[in-house]
Amino acid sequence: MCGIACQNAGMDIVSSKPSGVRARKRQETLERIAETGLRLFSRNGYEATTLDAIAEGAGISRRTFFHYFKSKEEILLDWQLRGFSASLRKAVLAQPAGKGPVEVVRDAMLILSDGFRTQEFISIDRVLRSSETLKARKQATYGLHEQALYATLMERWPDPDRGATLRLVAMASLGAMRLAIEAWIQAGGDRPVDSFLHAAFDGLASEFGKPS
Amino acid sequence: MCGIACQNAGMDIVSSKPSGVRARKRQETLERIAETGLRLFSRNGYEATTLDAIAEGAGISRRTFFHYFKSKEEILLDWQLRGFSASLRKAVLAQPAGKGPVEVVRDAMLILSDGFRTQEFISIDRVLRSSETLKARKQATYGLHEQALYATLMERWPDPDRGATLRLVAMASLGAMRLAIEAWIQAGGDRPVDSFLHAAFDGLASEFGKPS
DNA sequence: GAATATTTTTGCATCGAGTGCGATTTGGCC
DNA sequence: GGCCAAATCGCACTCGATGCAAAAATATTC
């Protein structure tokens, strides 16, 4: 539960000093572990990378690792969550008024879609698809993103009666994004991500918009 | 990968004898393990149930367990997959012609929704929600259901050009079902499952059907 | 029915992830 | 300097999972 987010909790609450050196070293160590882990995962595979190897590469003991990450998988979880949910929230709230929820989410995702092109994203996504356990974790992360997006949408349209439909919007939008990314990777990255994202939302509209 | 489905593969293909006693005993053992596991999970919790306990309860050795299930989690995975994907496929293919994909899937799900009321379903679903790892697995299973449903839809509408939209239909429909079940469990089971399912599909139609 | 082949079961040794505990070190604070 | 709290570490341990080879159960052949 406590990845990168809460290592310096209390700083802003208690008036005691931020304790400069400690927080900085802790931050550095955290990043060093994550970096080392992701690098070894990409190079040698996830299963083949032992905690001992990560610990040694990061210059800490095996035991200390667990003071920074709850598990080996959490390195990947943390990476997935690090930026995306937060930036999606920002992009959603920055959308102009007058649009409906679906359009808002779609346009926000289109803005973020550049981030999927990076070598880091593609490389780590390959790791995420390399084993059943990790695929499960990846799916689960989409669940977390779904919750986060739902919360953001409720923040923007704070009508309790819309809760259920906003949940649906979050679910279907993130699903559309997931399928768009999958199709894009499948296609080898020729066409831009945007076009897949557009196609996905258009597809949803045409299939679910019909008179029932 | 090989749960209950393939333990007697070859029986129907090769003309060699079905080997009566072996297949039957194997089947019995498999069911005994699954039963024991699910019972212990529901009673004592997932983490607290060790493989030794399951093995002892099923009357086998710890090592033999792994000849029937690849992992402890697979007992739950298997249970989830056992019926649902297959019956959904059946229900989808049994729908009358003339309906669109979304209606077909929705109506098929409405038929199956009775199965969610059972005590077994509710009890095991509680186990599935009891830890982060299992929640991840549950989400992943929806991914497998998604693949299966997509395959079924492609079977019914074998137009390669529709592949992308049928994938979207499978994704959004199963997502709608998931949210409907969650809402139903959240509500304590007062209103019937059907109404939540209807509401979810209607919600998708009204949100995504708007002119963009 | 006995001998043989194949599958199933089992015990044992081993690996790796994860946890609890207590000792030691390090940084913050007076 | 000395005191407190936090970080690091080593160690022992549990548990899930795998490889291997022997033993037991079942199927097959003559």
- Look up the CATH number of domain A76-208: 1.10.357.10
pLDDT, position B18: 53
CB-based burial label for B1 (10 Å; 0-12, 13-18, 19+): exposed
Q: Which residue of B has its CA nearest to A77?
A: B136
- CA angle in degrees (0–180, nearest 5) for A109-A110-A111: 90
Superfamily of the domain at B1-70: Homeodomain-like (1.10.10.60)
pLDDT, position B2: 37
Give tens-digit pLDDT for B158-208.
Answer: 998 899 999 999 999 999 999 999 999 988 878 899 999 999 999 999 999
Chain A residues close to B140, C-beta within 8 Å: 132, 135-136, 139-140
- In 3D space, the residue among B103, B102, B123, B96 whose CA is nearest the CA of residue B170 turns out to be B102
Protein-proximal positions, strand C, CB < 7 A: 7-12, 16-21, 27-29
Percent share of chain A, pLDDT over 70: 90
Give tens-digit pLDDT for A11-21.
Answer: 333 333 455 77
C1'-nearest nucleotide to the CA of B63:
C10
- In chain B, where are the structural domains located? 1-70, 73-208
Signed CA dihedral, A210, B86, A182, A166: sign only: positive
CB-based burial label for A119 (10 Å; 0-12, 13-18, 19+): exposed
- Look up the CATH number of domain B73-208: 1.10.357.10
The answer to whether some atom of strand C lies closer than 7 Å to the beta carbon of B61 is yes
Q: Three-state DSSP class for B12?
A: coil
- In 3D space, the residue among B26, B20, B19, B25 whose CA is nearest the CA of residue B4 turns out to be B26
Give tens-digit pLDDT for B45-84.
Answer: 999 999 999 999 999 999 999 999 999 999 998 888 877 8
Signed CA dihedral, A102, A103, A106, A111: sign only: negative
- B204 and A200: CB-CB below 8 Å? no
Share the mean pLDDT of chain A.
86
Q: Which residue has the higher pLDDT, B119 or A63?
A: A63
CA B119 to chain centre: 16
Q: Three-state DSSP class for A90?
A: helix
Average pLDDT over residues B127-141: 85
- B169 and A207: CB-CB below 8 Å? yes
- In 3D space, the residue among A68, A2, A1 whose CA is nearest the CA of residue A35 turns out to be A68
Give tens-digit pLDDT for A35-62.
Answer: 999 999 999 999 999 999 999 999 999 9
Give tens-digit pLDDT for B104-132.
Answer: 999 999 999 988 888 888 889 889 988 88
